[in-house]
């Protein structure tokens, strides 16, 4: 891909004002989705989460029609070869404001769309799985923000900066009570004695779209995924562990730190069930 492209409020520019509250305070939300054959994957579900996340912090989410119009405008600026794949990130901030934390009485949300290349992953992650490291950075509890993908992601930045060993694909994030919450860039699921479980996100963490797709698929199969408190020992003794997000899909976890994790074909089965196209 030749370049990263930006669309801000419908204009092909590459910046926002320093007074924008998303820049100044992280006052906004975002979602990242995969572009395949020129189509945004799972757009209805992504838009649903955009609306829900905006609502939780009292931002009026722009309409799906407006965002799709701006997406098409952004893509019209790309070379033909760039349209087949990539990543599209949608950012919604509260908009511009004066100095100080208090939000303006009347706000015009800022819309940012970013189109960039797919990440370059190791070629064997879909065949042999991935290793995770245990992050020392912890997630603080904040029920008001739990589940949403807000722009305040410094905890994830610090946790990702811990990665020094190229053997590890991502990290496992815990809260201050040692509960496993998520991976740095994805959600976690474990399989144990025929039961599928995922960490509860009532206090912190991000409820990803791929996580929701997995929950929805199991529901169609008449099986409930239990959202519960999990500890590291639950991951280490599970029959299988997978990590999931909207970009790489679902990956088998085969190792955490130096410990080998039981492995099967669970991730492959989920990718097939969700019709995920491997890239």
Separation in Å, CA 73 to CA 4, 15, 130: 14, 17, 37
Q: Which residue(s) pair with 147 in the sheet?
A: 206
What kind of architecture, by CATH, is found in domain 5-116? 2-Layer Sandwich (3.30)
CATH number for 125-273 (one of 3.30.70.2740, 3.40.50.1220, 3.90.1150.10, 3.20.10.10): it is 3.20.10.10
CA torsion, points 232, 237, 242, 243, in degrees to nearest 10? 10
Q: Do domains 5-116 and 125-273 have the same CATH topology?
A: no
Rounded Cα gap, residues 133 and 135, in angstroms: 6
Q: What residue segments make up the domains of the chain, in order of their start?
A: 5-116, 125-273
Report pTM.
0.94
Averaged over successive runs of 10 residues, the pLDDT of the chain (279 residues) comes to 77 88 96 94 97 97 97 82 82 93 91 92 92 98 97 97 94 98 98 97 98 98 96 97 97 97 94 92
């Amino acid at each position: 891909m030749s370049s990263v492209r930006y669309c801000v409020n419908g204009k092909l520019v590459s910046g926002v004002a320093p007074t924008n509250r998303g820049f100044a305070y992280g006052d906004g939300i975002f979602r990242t989705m995969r572009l395949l054959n020129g189509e945004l994957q799972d757009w209805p579900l992504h838009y649903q989460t955009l609306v829900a996340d905006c609502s939780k912090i009292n931002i009026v989410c722009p309409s799906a029609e407006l965002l799709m119009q701006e997406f098409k405008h952004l893509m019209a600026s790309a070379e033909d070869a760039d349209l087949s794949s990539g990543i599209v990130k949608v950012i919604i901030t509260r908009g511009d404001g004066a100095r100080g934390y208090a939000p303006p009485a009347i706000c015009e949300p800022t819309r940012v769309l970013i189109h960039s290349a797919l990440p370059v992953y190791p070629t064997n992650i879909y065949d042999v799985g991935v290793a995770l490291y245990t992050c020392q950075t912890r997630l603080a509890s904040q029920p008001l923000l739990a589940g949403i993908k807000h722009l305040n992601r410094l905890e994830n930045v610090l946790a990702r900066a811990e990665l020094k060993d190229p053997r590890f694909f991502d990290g496992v994030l815990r809260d201050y009570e040692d509960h496993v919450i998520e991976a740095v860039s994805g959600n976690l699921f474990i399989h144990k004695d025929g039961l599928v479980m995922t960490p509860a996100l009532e206090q912190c963490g991000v409820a990803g779209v791929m996580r929701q797709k997995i929950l929805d698929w199991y529901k169609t199969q008449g099986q409930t995924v239990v959202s519960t408190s999990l500890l590291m020992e639950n991951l280490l003794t599970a029959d299988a562990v997978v990590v999931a997000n909207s970009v790489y899909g679902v990956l088998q976890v085969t190792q955490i730190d130096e410990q080998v994790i039981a492995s099967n074909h669970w991730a492959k089965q989920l990718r097939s069930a969700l019709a995920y196209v491997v890239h």
